[in-house]
Amino acid sequence: MSSPQQPPAAGTTEPLEASLYEIRKKIYPRAVSGWFAGWRVALVLATQIAFYGGAWLTWNDRQAILFDLVSRKFYIFGLVFWPQDFIFLTALLIISAYALFLFTAVAGRLWCGYACPQTVYTEIFLWIERMVEGDRVQRMRLDQQAAGARKVGLKAAKHGIWIALALWTGFTFVGYFTPIRTLAGSFASWTLGPWETFWIFFYAFATYGNAGWMREQVCKYMCPYARFQSVMFDPDTLVITYDAQRGEPRGSRGRKADPKAMGLGDCVDCNVCVQVCPTGIDIRKGLQYECIGCAACIDGCNQVMDKMGYARGLIRYSTENAVNGKYADGDIPRHVARPRVLVYVVLLGLIIAAFFGGLWLRSPLKVDVMRDRGAMVRDAAGGRLENVYRLQFINADEAPRRYVVEASGLPGLEVVLPQAIEVPAASTRAYPVLLRLNPAGIATGSHPVTFHVRDADRPEVRADESSRFYIR
Amino acid sequence: MGKQLMWILWPSFLVGGIAVGVFFTLIDPQELYLLGQPVHWSPTAVYSTGFFLFWAVAAASSALTSYLRHTEK
């Protein structure tokens, strides 16, 4: 194995092998403010208020959003999902995937830059780091210092706040699977179950490790989307671009100097775009797969351009075609509606319509019919025959329901219920049901029959299930 | 070595998560039998154990792929 000092040998077939022990150069992103930074702060706040707060919302006297694994029911506000509703989960995943394709085709890695939990938590952990240790230069200096009381104190404070936040994140995460108020109660009385404790720490550890230590390495080495996003790009996709024609040749100069006389472009080579980059790349080398599209370099460069009195947008959102002069920057919006984007929009629209249509039409009543395995046919009074079934009723409503059962398929078929069919709110109950009939004139053997179940109070809520009736 | 571990543990973590979700959506943990005996653990314990089993199986596959990839001549 190679030592960290040795650069990977050029031209070898296995550069990965050579860089296995590469020690990561720690990146100290510099704080940046501006239009895009403002958007990122807004999105970090929005997603995290939704995440940390969402678990505490109440609906119908229960937690509004609860993935109750123990009783195998998912509650999302007024909706209750059962394992039978698996198709909706699948549809939701397909919708997410197509939405990602669409956003990527239009404007690159919007997801990565603004909404991905990896970015969001890295951003939050960086805020804490800045509050405790200061901005870029102060942090670099601190890391180079020998360990002393001040350094140990600052590091302990930073990690302490990180760990506290990570534990709260883990607690909130588990609170979506175990009712969070119960969980808070068990935590306060120190009676958390072993698995709950384990998952809180597991998620907290993942948050702390990913946002505190791994950071951009997750995007660079672990994220599959980062690798295949380029197939969704085309020359009309908005990407963060350095305008080399305008910027080069780069070089430092005084604020009053005339760059034309010095033979220089607009790039003052201040390196701010590199210093603010959370993945440590130089956008001036062109689009690279490490770029998560956070636009920090745009904000940083614009501030420098303002100071120099140059036009903004040396680094900006543009498309490959616009940069190559195929059309002006102002024409970019007209190139958004291209076949690829339209196909994504139509597919996405259809799947979303199907999802909500299915949700709207979803019956709050489901019935499962099982034949009693013990006895095929029983004799009843008056020469009649009985078949025994077990009907399972799933009431997906959040109110108790009473059901009426009828049957068809054979003449004179009679339904015998041992008791009224009542099912509590959002529950499953099974009842034995008898079908009775006079077999005179009907051939022996198996005959198809259908059970018709409907809500006693709302006849439009109904379910039909077929089964067999045996005559001997 | 660090990257190797990431490449083995991370994709298998994702696959393990998806697998446990699909498996237990289709199969109720209370209907499971372990060595001929019904499983008496709490659902949370079954789900958690299931997740780690799926993760381990997927990691074993990733590790083999990674080994073959790096011993290729």
What was the pLDDT predicted at A455?
A: 92
Q: Among B1, B3, B32, pick the best mutation site for testing chain A contact (most A Cβ within 10 A).
A: B3
Asked whether residue A251 is domain-assigned, the answer is no
A254 shares contact with chain B (CB less than 8 Å)? no
Interchain CB contact of A196 with B (< 8 Å): yes
CB contact under 8 A, A221 and B26: no
Whole domain around residue A197: which residue ranges?
A: 15-81+116-231
Instruction: Give the closest-approach CA distance of B53 to chain A in angstroms.
Output: 15
ipTM of this predicted structure: 0.89
Q: Terminus-to-terminus CA distance in chain B, angstroms?
A: 20
Residue A9 placed within a domain = no
Looking at residue A307, its amino acid is K
Backbone angles phi, psi at A429, to 5 degrees: -135, 145
pLDDT attached to residue A259: 84
Q: Do A66 and A336 touch, CB atoms closer than 8 A?
A: no
Contact yes or no for A221 and B6 at CB 8 A = yes
Contacts of A196 in chain B (CB under 8 A): 44
Spans of chain A below 70 pLDDT: 1-24
- A vs B, Cβ pairs < 8 A, gives 41
Chain A: residue nearest B51 by CA?
A199
Q: How many domains does chain A have?
A: 2
For residue B25, the distance in angstroms to the closest alpha carbon of chain A comes to 5
The domain limits of chain B are 2-70
Domain boundary among A231, A259, A274: A231
> Which pLDDT score is estimated for A160?
97
Residue A274 forms part of a structural domain: no
Q: Which A residues 87-126 touch B at CB under 8 Å?
A: 89
From A83, A89, A195, residue closest to B45, measured CB to CB: A195
Residue A369 maps to which CATH number?
2.60.40.10
Task: Tell me which chain B residue has its CA closest to the CA of residue A86.
Answer: B25
Q: Do A69 and B43 touch (CB under 8 A)?
A: yes
CA A206 from centre of chain: 16
Cβ burial of A21 (10 Å; 0-12, 13-18, 19+) is middle
In this prediction, residue A55 carries a pLDDT of 95
pLDDT at A23: 53
Is A45 touching B (CB cutoff 8 A)? Answer: no
State how far the Cα of A171 lies from the Cα of A150, in Å rounded to an integer.
Answer: 31
> Does A83 contact B25 at a Cβ distance shorter than 8 Å?
yes
Collect all residues with Cβ–Cβ distance below 8 Å to A82 and sequence separation of at least 6. A72, A73, A366, A394, A396
* Residues of chain B with C-beta less than 8 angstroms from the C-beta of A70: 42-44
User: What would the two tokens of residue A324 be?
Assistant: 């190559």
Question: ω before A411 within 30° of 0 (cis)?
Answer: no
The 10s digit of each residue's pLDDT in B22-70 is 898 888 888 888 877 888 888 889 999 999 999 999 999 999 999 998 8
CB contact under 8 A, A20 and B2: yes
Alpha carbon distance A185, A265 (integer Å): 64
- Work out the minimum CA distance from A139 to partner chain B, whole angstroms: 25
**Any domain includes A222:** yes
With respect to residue A265, please indicate whether it lies within any of the assigned structural domains: no
Out of A231, A246, A280, pick the residue that ends a domain: A231
Residue where one domain finishes, among candidates A172, A201, A231: A231
